[in-house]
Amino acid sequence: MPRWLQARPFLFAGVLSWSNFQRQHRAVLPALAVLLLISSGLLALPVVGHLLEIAAQFPVTPFVLLAAGCAVATAHRKTSVYRTLVDSWLAPLAAPASIFVRMALVPVLQLILLMLAISIPAVVGSLSLKAAITLWLVVGAAYGAGCFVGWMVSHDKSAGAPAFHYVTVRKPRACWAQAPRLEPLSYWAMGQTRVSTKPKVTAGAVLFVLLALPMGTGGGKAIAIAAGAWVVLHLAALDVSAIRVAFSAARWLTPTTVRYLPFTVALGYRTVVAQLWACGWVVFLTCGVALTGALRIGLISTAECLISSCGAIGVASWLAMRSAGMVGKRGGMDGGGVR
Amino acid sequence: MSTETQALGPETEALRVEHLHASYEKHAVLIDVNLTVARGEWVALLGPNASGKSTLLHCVAGMMAPKSGRVTICGHSLRDDPRGAKAKFGFACAPERLPALLTGRQCLEIYAAAKGLPSIDADVLRLAESFQYLPMLDRFVGAYSLGTRQKLAVLLALLGEPQLIVLDEAFNGLDPASSLALKHHLRARVSEGKCSVLLATHALDIVERYADRAALLLNGRIAHEWRKEELTAMRAQSEEGFEAALAAVAAEAEAR
């Protein structure tokens, strides 16, 4: 290993981990190569060139989408990179933290792949050179802007305790000690949602939605779209949190004999109630401004949202319990929950 | 008994913590903590769970930014010259923080390279041998037991002959033989004046037999300090001398 790499413990550890990972999973590199070949083949199809041609005609939309994605990813990456300065096993070392390289590595790789993805249709002739150049510029500018905005938005420096959030339950059950229930599991998912939908995060995402609106959109419409985006983010965050917590909770509860149904209900009911509450307000407000067909569309959307949430939480719980060995392979839903 | 921190010069002190305040959001964990560790001294940090011991050690290791106050390691301010300060100490990280995808040998290699060492210290290798850790060197850390991870964390902290060794419950999970080997190793290093040790622990036998000084942290404040002579006198007095003294101080502090 080169000496400069050895003097940078974060990079050195990353390289060794990657090399060990490959040694453990020998199929990864060949699989990646095959995946790249298949992707290249798909990119050479005429339909892809046609789609990219359309994207080049409306460059603002791909620019905003890419910049938004890149900004969110950069903000998260900055948070996690800075967190390693306080909670990594390498944190106590008086050695360079290689922040720039660690921050730049992923976006640079993504940028190269995207540039290649645009080049392939251009080379096979399904995309005009002018459109390809436009897209190269759009992608480059979007990554530049996204990285800059993401870096500026995130302020998670190494101060304070790592990954530490105090959550206060306002009304603990009086008989929690005499008649314990699985109910607090639902607070776990809600707490996770609160962490992931901090105003700092959602405001940035809604800002990008507003930026993507075409010129001349009315103020009222823009506010409605922003509010709609916020609601969608909130609903999605609730689902994602419940799914993530299902796996963490299953790992934690592995030594117990908890069954599938009580686990799933305890985990997901507050999430579903919160979604019902949010959807209810949306339907109520849209009916209040007398939008045509609002009630029908609202009720159908609410039902779809709740059914898909229940389905997702149910499947996630089952997978989580199965991966933790809490549900027998042939035990099914009714629970061979007891180990 | 003395509750005051010894007055030492920058040449004689390995660690100086002055008026340290730290909090998790609005929850204050350390309140005006003052502590000094002299060169060649072993200081044990005692206190009930959640009294702030680990937070204090994380502040000393630069892994948590205090709200206010000053930490100086061998004359280097942790805030103004973090690299100079970090170069002087070894910190045993929590065993669960060690990277699962690396082998023990790779972890040692990375630490040694990052500290600019030409080779792994011979006494660290000797300690690894007495830990019976050598057969585990080429296994992935992810496959280690808690005790084996703890051994690796301690070995990493000892690399490069640091002048201040900061250990947080480092004896947890170690088998009796390894625990004894580590105690003797640390005592030998301290006695030779090679380093100072700041150890957070609940094991009173270590405090009584090996520490030069003990500090009791209660509710985020240093409630009491015992000097070596006081510790020795208490041990001579009765089997449970120190235990009883500790309980008395804790009860007195609670009553206040």
Q: Among partner residues B24, B101, B115, which is closest to A164 by beta-carbon distance? A: B24
What confidence score (pLDDT) does residue B115 get? 84
| Partner B contacted by A195 (CB < 8 A) | no
What confidence score (pLDDT) does residue B4 get? 44
| Partner A contacted by B77 (CB < 8 A) | no
What confidence score (pLDDT) does residue A31 get? 94
| Partner B contacted by A17 (CB < 8 A) | yes
| Partner B contacted by A159 (CB < 8 A) | yes
Distances (CA, A) of B158 to A56, A226, B97, B177, B182: 59, 55, 17, 18, 11
Residue A79: pLDDT band (50, 70, 90) is: confident
Chain-chain contact of B115 with A86 (C-beta, under 8 angstroms): no
What confidence score (pLDDT) does residue A158 get? 47
In chain A, whose CA is at the least distance from the CA of B86? A94
- CB-CB contact of A246 with A320 (8 Å): yes
What confidence score (pLDDT) does residue A296 get? 82
* Chain B residues closer than 8 Å to A13 by CB: 99, 102, 106, 110
Count of pairs with CB atoms under 8 A, one residue in A, one in B = 86
| Partner A contacted by B206 (CB < 8 A) | no
The strand pairing partners of A271, in sequence order, are none
- State the nearest Cα–Cα gap between A104 and chain B, in angstroms: 22
| Partner A contacted by B118 (CB < 8 A) | no
| Partner B contacted by A99 (CB < 8 A) | no
The pLDDT of residue A159 is above 70: no
- Tell me the per-residue pLDDT of B77-101, one tens digit each, with 9 for 90 and over: 988 888 888 888 899 988 988 998 8
| Inter-axis angle of helices B104-114 and A9-24, nearest 10 | 160
Chain-chain contact of B62 with A92 (C-beta, under 8 angstroms): yes
Question: Which of B101, B152, B155, B167 to probe by mutation at the A interface, max A CB count within 10 Å?
Answer: B101
- CB-CB contact of A269 with A186 (8 Å): yes
What confidence score (pLDDT) does residue A316 get? 96
- State the nearest Cα–Cα gap between B72 and chain A, in angstroms: 15
Q: Among partner residues A7, A17, A162, which is closest to B102 by beta-carbon distance? A: A17
| Partner B contacted by A175 (CB < 8 A) | no
- CB-CB contact of B142 with B152 (8 Å): no
In sequence order, what are the residues at sequence separation of 6 or more whose Cβ sits closer than 8 angstroms to the Cβ of residue B225? B1, B2, B3, B4, B5, B213, B214, B215, B216
- CB-CB contact of B106 with B144 (8 Å): no
**Closest Cα to residue A127, out of A47, A61, A193?**
A47
**Closest Cα to residue B83, out of B41, B116, B132?**
B116
Q: Among partner residues A17, A86, A164, which is closest to B63 by beta-carbon distance? A: A86
For residue A21, how far is the Cα from the chain centroid? 24
Residue A4 token pair: 């400069």
Average pLDDT of the segment spanning A77-86: 87
Q: Which amino acid is at B196?
A: S
**Could you give the 3-state DSSP secondary structure of residue B2?**
strand
What confidence score (pLDDT) does residue B165 get? 95
* Chain B residues closer than 8 Å to A89 by CB: 93, 97-99, 107, 153, 156
Question: Which of B24, B26, B54, B64 to probe by mutation at the A interface, max A CB count within 10 Å?
Answer: B64
Chain-chain contact of B110 with A13 (C-beta, under 8 angstroms): yes
Strands (E), chain B: 13-24, 27-38, 42-46, 68-73, 76-77, 89-91, 164-168, 196-200, 213-218, 221-227
| Inter-axis angle of helices A9-24 and A99-124, nearest 10 | 50
Cα separation of B132 and A309, whole Å? 52
The pLDDT of residue A339 is above 50: no
Residue A16: pLDDT band (50, 70, 90) is: very high
- State the nearest Cα–Cα gap between A195 and chain B, in angstroms: 14
| Partner A contacted by B24 (CB < 8 A) | yes
- Tell me the per-residue pLDDT of A257-271, one tens digit each, with 9 for 90 and over: 888 999 999 999 999
ipTM confidence score: 0.77
| Partner B contacted by A98 (CB < 8 A) | no
Cα separation of A188 and A198, whole Å? 16
In chain A, whose CA is at the least distance from the CA of B162? A93
What confidence score (pLDDT) does residue A157 get? 53
The pLDDT of residue A194 is above 90: no
- CB-CB contact of B85 with A91 (8 Å): no
| Partner B contacted by A164 (CB < 8 A) | yes
| Partner B contacted by A12 (CB < 8 A) | yes
Average pLDDT of the segment spanning A110-136: 93
Chain-chain contact of B113 with A6 (C-beta, under 8 angstroms): yes
| Partner A contacted by B10 (CB < 8 A) | no
| Partner A contacted by B102 (CB < 8 A) | yes
In chain A, whose CA is at the least distance from the CA of B100? A17
> Which carries the bigger pLDDT value, residue B82 or residue A38?
A38
Residue B8 token pair: 């030492």
What confidence score (pLDDT) does residue B63 get? 83
Average pLDDT of the segment spanning A150-164: 62
DSSP state of A181: -
pLDDT above 90 covers a percentage of chain A that reads: 44
| Partner B contacted by A160 (CB < 8 A) | yes
Q: What is the overall mean pLDDT for chain A?
A: 85
Q: Which residues, given as ranges, of chain B have pLDDT below 70?
A: 1-11, 238-240, 256
